[in-house]
Amino acid sequence: LFGAQGWPPGKVPVAFFTDANCPYCKVLEKRLFDMRDSGAPITLAWHELPLLGPNSARTARAILAARFLGREEAARAYLSQNALPPGPVGLRRLAEALDLLPGMLQREESSARVSRTLSDSMLLGGRLGIVGTPGTVIGRTLVIGAIREPDLTKLIEIEAAAPQTICS
């Protein structure tokens, strides 16, 4: 859920289930990046949940390919401002914007690990009951839908103050 980093001491993990074509996701994604970059005690884990059709699935695969090539945040920033054109042209434009070789991005986009990661996120989102985007898990709290900034800040404060408990 929270990725390899788990729940580091002093940080609240935030898992964000997103669709690149969801306008609310774009707003919340920027808010989360801004909060993290301004020192909020959070770590971010992203899960692609392309529920809005084939273009969402293509864009999710492109973002995951960028992740495995070390350019995920740059891809998210670019795709929050630009649509991904269909076919190889779109991947070529994205690769150029990310300073990647187009062939690398295209190969990674069609890789088994991108397919597996996307499938795992879809399965996890389904198990959590996330039927629409955005879906955000803040520590132990699941919110489905948009979150106002004051509410997000308050949830992070609540989760940061609560001791982490582990069932054994």
pLDDT averaged per 10 residues, the chain (length 168) = 61 93 93 94 94 94 96 94 89 94 92 97 95 93 93 93 63
DSSP one-letter string for 76-107: HHHHHHS---SHHHHHHHHHHHTT--HHHHHH
Q: Tell me how far apart the alpha carbons of residues 26 and 37 are, in angstroms, rounded to a whole number.
A: 16
The amino acid occupying position 12 is V
pLDDT, residue 116, reads 97
Q: Say what the pTM is.
A: 0.88
DSSP 161: H
Q: Which of 61, 65, 151 is nearest to 105 (CA)?
A: 65
Tell me, what's the pLDDT at 168? 45
How many other CB atoms are there within 10 angstroms of residue 150's CB atom? 8
